[in-house]
Amino acid sequence: MTAPRSDTAGPSHKAVETGVALLIAAFGIIVIIGSLKAGINWGAEGPRAGFFPFYIGMSIVAASAINLWSALHDHDDRLFAEWGQLRQVMSVVVPTAIYVGSMPFVGLYVASIIFIGWFMRWLGGYRWLPTVAVALGMPIATYLVFERWFLVPLPKGPVEEWLGL
């Protein structure tokens, strides 16, 4: 993936396809190792815990090998996506990762308010008023529907504790 960073270039489909096949094969190897640890032969109670997953792992590796072979022999020079498109995708993945990662510490509500606000203000380019309205409105509606009406508890942080919710 040495293509220049312009908006019409990007990683080739072939490269990504190869990478995904290798990734799946690696997963298959992990499954095989785990199964071997659990035991793949017959015990007192019949086939042991690793018996079934061992063959599953083998099939994953075998299927990925064939997929890898056909990816490498594919004369397909389409792009997987342009760098600009991938940047768009990453502009969602990265904040979502931060959002998800901060949830155990600040709770779902505060994280959601910041996340929605950030998304609308910086990606959507909205004014402050609609941004604040949606960013506050959605978590409040969520609180009413989930915690009050359907009694489903959601993760809370220090702010909710301070508010006594």
Partner 1 sequence: MEELANLFHGFAVALQPYNVMLMVVGIMLGVIIGVLPGLGGANGVAILLPLTFSMPPTSAIIMLSCIYWGALFGGAITSILFNIPGEPWSVATTFDGYPMAQQGKPGEALTAAFTSSFVGALFAVAMITLVAPLVASFALRFGPAEKFAVYFLAFCSFVGLSKEPPFKTIAAMMIGFALAAVGLDSITGQLRLTFGITELLNGFDFLIAVIGLFGIGEILLTMEDGLSFRGGNAKINLRVVLQTWKELPTYWMTSLRSCLIGCWMGVTPAGATPASFMSYGIAKRLARNGKNFGKGEIEGVIAPETAAHAAGTSALLPMLSLGVPGSPTAAVLLGGLLIWGLQPGPMLFVEQKEFVWGLIASMYLGNLAGLLVVLTCVPIFAAILRVPFSIIAPLILVLCAIGAYSVHNSTFDVMLMLVFGVLGYLLKKCNYPLAPLVLAIVLGDKAEEAFRQSLLGSQGSLGVFFSNGLVSTIMVLGLVALFWSAIQEGYSRLRTAVA
Interacting residues with partner 1 between 91 and 130 (CB under 8 A): 91-93, 96-97, 99-101, 103-104, 108, 112, 115-116, 119-120, 123-126
Residue 39: which of 29, 49, 30 has the closest Cα?
49
Supply the minimum distance, in Å, between the C-beta of residue 108 and partner 1. 7
Q: Classify 79 as helix, strand or coil.
A: strand
Instruction: Give yes or no for residue 155 binding partner 1 (CB under 8 A).
Output: yes
Token reading at 5: 């960073």
- Applying CB under 8 A, among 1, 70, 144, 158 the residue interacting with partner 1 is 70
Supply the minimum distance, in Å, between the C-beta of residue 84 and partner 1. 9
Contact in structure between 159 and 109 (CB atoms under 8 Å): yes
Residue with tokens 């409040």: 140
Count of C-beta atoms within a 10 Å radius of residue 39: 14
Instruction: Give yes or no for residue 143 binding partner 1 (CB under 8 A).
Output: no
Instruction: Give yes or no for residue 138 binding partner 1 (CB under 8 A).
Output: yes
Q: For residues 19 and 143, give the distance between their C-alpha atoms in angstroms, rounded to a whole number.
A: 42
Token reading at 67: 């997929």
Q: For residues 141 and 133, give the distance between their C-alpha atoms in angstroms, rounded to a whole number.
A: 12
Q: Which residues bind partner 1 (CB under 8 A)?
A: 16-17, 20, 24, 27-28, 31, 34-35, 37-39, 42-43, 45-53, 56-57, 59-60, 63-64, 66-67, 70, 80-81, 85-86, 88-89, 91-93, 96-97, 99-101, 103-104, 108, 112, 115-116, 119-120, 123-126, 134, 138-139, 142, 145-146, 150-155
